[in-house]
A and B are shown apart, each in its own frame.
Chain A
């Protein structure tokens, strides 16, 4: 039986908001792994990014790719447990590169430790069949933008 871990109720409003846009998106009938590959490649590229603007742009595209892979799978009825696992391990790998790149800063070090917690939560998600993860990249990008605007400096 192909059981896909369900989302927690706390994620429902966010999911509902995403689905509003998702229905209007143009999504080609692609293998969602192309989006995974794009997200991973950009996360590796992030290791070389120095300008804050470029860093923010890269994370935004990585997050969009993460959204599109799931949206494509849902639109074309390709939602499978293997696809779910591909998605979550791609997310963890992407976070690993993003936060390893920032390990020179205190914020990066904290997020690298949180990435390790998130990786453990991935195991818990498949064990309990209840998707549990910390939205680290979303929070991190907010931190980057805040730092760019001089908030908290």
Chain B
């Protein structure tokens, strides 16, 4: 599971560059940043609701419980539906919103533990059994890499 900052940096960069958004088209960039990070609001909701459990068990290794169905396939489907509606008005916006959201969901699937078919099937899925330290290193490397890519994108477009 990546940090919100890493999601914002990586998913939005992929969304913006794949949609061929120019650096001066700030509305699309803002939309990408919001779509790439808004999903993490649901962690907060669960962490506040289940704070007694987290105080007892700790956050490390238990954050996969702090996610709603929006972090799973249902979320991907809903993002597809919302983008489908946006597509009727602004194709580029639809692309940016869907890709940013989808990349976030998939990063969490790949790097953490999830229940992708929640609520129909609650089987826990883990692509790789990564340690907390490995996740932190991957997170930092991604943040550095996409930070550099954002800089190149913004400087190159001026």
Contact = CB atoms under 8 A, between A and B. Distances in A.
Interface of A: 31, 33, 36-37, 40, 44, 47-48, 81-82, 85-86, 89, 92-93, 96-97, 100-101, 103-104, 109, 112-113, 115-116, 119-120, 122-123, 126-127
A33 B123 contact: no
Contact of B121 (A97, A100, A109, A126): A126
Interface size class of B (residues with CB under 8 A): 20 to 34
A49 to B, nearest CB: 10
B117 A93 contact: no
A96 to B, nearest CB: 6
Contacts of A122: 73, 117
A85 B110 contact: no
A82 B116 CA distance: 10
10 contacts: A33-B128, A81-B123, A92-B73, A100-B99, A109-B87, A112-B84, A115-B80, A116-B80, A119-B80, A126-B121
B123 A48 contact: no
Contact of A116 (B18, B81, B109, B110): B81
Nearest to B119: A123
Contacts of A92: 73, 76
A47 B80 contact: no
Interface string B1-25: 0000000000000100110000000
A82 B113 CA distance: 11
Contacts of A47: 14, 18, 99
B83 to A, nearest CB: 8
B17 A100 contact: no
Interface of B: 14, 17-18, 73, 76-77, 80-81, 83-84, 87, 91, 94-95, 98-99, 102-103, 105-106, 109-110, 116-117, 120-121, 123-128
A1 to B, nearest CB: 12
Contacts of A96: 76, 80, 98, 102
Given A37-B127, A103-B91, 6 more contacts: A37-B110, A82-B126, A85-B123, A93-B102, A100-B83, A103-B87
Nearest to A80: B123
B18 A48 contact: yes
B81 A33 contact: no
A37 B106 CA distance: 10
Contacts of A36: 110, 127
Given A85-B117, A85-B125, A126-B120, A93 B106 contact: yes
